Amino acid sequence: MKEKLKALVVQPVLTGISYFIPVICMGGLLQSFGTILGGTGVAEATGTFAYYLYQGGTLTMSMVVPVLAAYIAYAICDRPGLAPGFLVGLLSVEYKIGFVGGILGGIAVGYFCKIVKEKLPLSKDLASLLPMLILPILGGLFVVLSMCYVLGPVLGGLQTYLSSLFAEMQSGSRIVFGMVLGALMGVDLGGPVTKIGTTVVNGLVADGILGPEGAKVCIGVTATLGIGLSTIISKKKYTAAQRATGKSAIILGCCQIAEGGLPILLADPLRVWPATILGNMVTGAIAMYFNVQSPVMMGGLFAFPVMKNVWPGAILSVAVGTLVTVILLALCRKTVSQKDPIVTQESTPVVQSNMQTSSVVAETIDTSDDLDIHIEFE
């Protein structure tokens, strides 16, 4: 049962991760360079080189969920799943359901296209149109119906409901508020669960309440920075490819681009969640206790010069939270075995079609220059 689950669900998700890593690295680093050159106000510095770098990175980051969803579908049903998969990702961004919607939608449309390809009776004349025309059209219709009437409203409604509950907590204990905010941001590192907390906190800035925003900036640094440092400190817990990803995560974490830690989180969530959630909770509690305040919503460590109560509040919260993250990752993750399966584009499952006309020969994908991901399974 466990092996079947890996083949049906886990393997396609890991394939999607292997394709979206370069997108995250490029987008995140462009945003980071823009922030470093233009400061916390780079988003308003129109016409400058830093602004163009930052905007280029922002546009690239908007591609992350579509790429993830598309290549999950591709791993299940080959190229006919790409176009519907990209549509799943775009609608996930539109409905603000992020990685959760992209993963669930990508799996759903992938298997829908696979079933149609295997079961749909077609004449010899129409069989040649199946991969290029019929499957993308049927897949697109399935995506629109499932995302617009099921996944989008359900997940979006759940997110709105949780946001209202979180907003009500703001009037209670500041420390508890910071801990809950940290926990939410530690679950998916910039995804829809994170948005539950950050949407409420960003709204408070308009009312002149800057404390939660200061905690958010500190929390946004902690998990990804901790993951990056862990790949250096606990080298035996990570593969060579993951250690390379970790170096980028350090830079991205310092700039409050939490998505930099996603490749490692999504590859082994059960062993990473305790570290990211608890580390962020510690950061949130300390930042709220010292009333760290921020008038800006992004910037990470580069926003510290314009924040209040940076010492000891912001510095201590990030340092302690990051330390907790690194320690828990060292305790929770297992030492990487040389026999671990390798998930790369080269191992992407290519589905053979049983059309009446001919069988499609699985194509070989040259990944000599691509990034490999080594994933450990129990």
Q: pLDDT per residue over 203-237, tens digit each?
A: 777 667 788 889 999 999 999 999 999 999 998 88
Place of tokens 């080269």: 346
Q: Is the pLDDT of residue 201 over 50?
A: yes
Residue-averaged pLDDT of the chain = 81
Query: Alpha-carbon distance 73 to 81, whole Å?
Result: 5
Please indicate, yes or no, whether the overall pTM of this predicted structure exceeds 0.75.
Answer: no
Tens-place pLDDT, residues 304-360: 887 889 888 999 999 999 999 999 999 999 888 645 444 444 444 444 443 333 333
Q: Distance between the two ends of the chain, CA-based, in angstroms?
A: 13
pLDDT at 375: 41
- pLDDT bracket for residue 172 (50, 70, 90): low
**Is the same domain home to 65 and 200?**
no
Total domains present in the chain: 2
Q: Do 14 and 138 fall into the same domain? A: yes
Q: Are residues 188 and 65 in the same domain?
A: no
Same domain, 116 and 189: no
The answer to whether the CB of 147 falls within 8 A of the CB of 91 is: yes
Same domain, residue pair 319 and 370: no
Please list the alpha-helical segments (H only) found in 170-268: 174-188, 192-206, 211-233, 240-254, 262-267
- Residue numbers of the domain that contains 281: 170-336
User: What pLDDT digit, counting tens, does each position of 29-85 carry?
Assistant: 788 788 778 876 788 888 899 899 989 988 988 898 899 999 999 999 888 889 999
178 and 310 fall within a common domain: yes
CA atoms within 13 A on the CB side of 4: 1
C-alpha of 141 from chain center:
26
78 plus 8 within the same structural domain? yes
Question: Average of pLDDT values for 16-37?
Answer: 82
pLDDT at residue 259, as a whole number: 84
Residues 298 and 238 grouped into a single domain: yes
| CB atoms near residue 170 (< 10 Å) | 17
How far apart CA 279 and CA 299 sit, in angstroms, is 19
User: Do residue 159 and residue 174 come from a single domain?
Assistant: no
Pair 183, 44 in one domain: no
Contact 74, 108 (CB under 8 A): no
144 and 177 both lie in a single domain: no
pLDDT at residue 363 above 70?
no
Q: Which candidate, 108, 128, 48, places its Cα nearest to that of 358?
A: 128
Report the percent of the chain where pLDDT is more than 90: 31
Tell me the pLDDT tens digit for each residue of 106-122.
999 999 999 988 888 87
Q: Are residues 46 and 154 in the same domain?
A: yes
Mean pLDDT for the stretch of residues 135-150: 91
DSSP states of 104-161 as a string? HHHHHHHHHHHHHHHH----HHHHTTIIIIIHHHHHHHHHHHHIIIIIHHHHHHHHHH
**pLDDT at residue 202 tops 70:** yes
Q: Among candidates 174, 182, 166, which has minimal Cα distance to 318?
A: 182
The alpha carbon dihedral of 185, 191, 195, 201 has a sign of positive
**pLDDT for res 356:** 38
What confidence score (pLDDT) does residue 233 get? Answer: 93
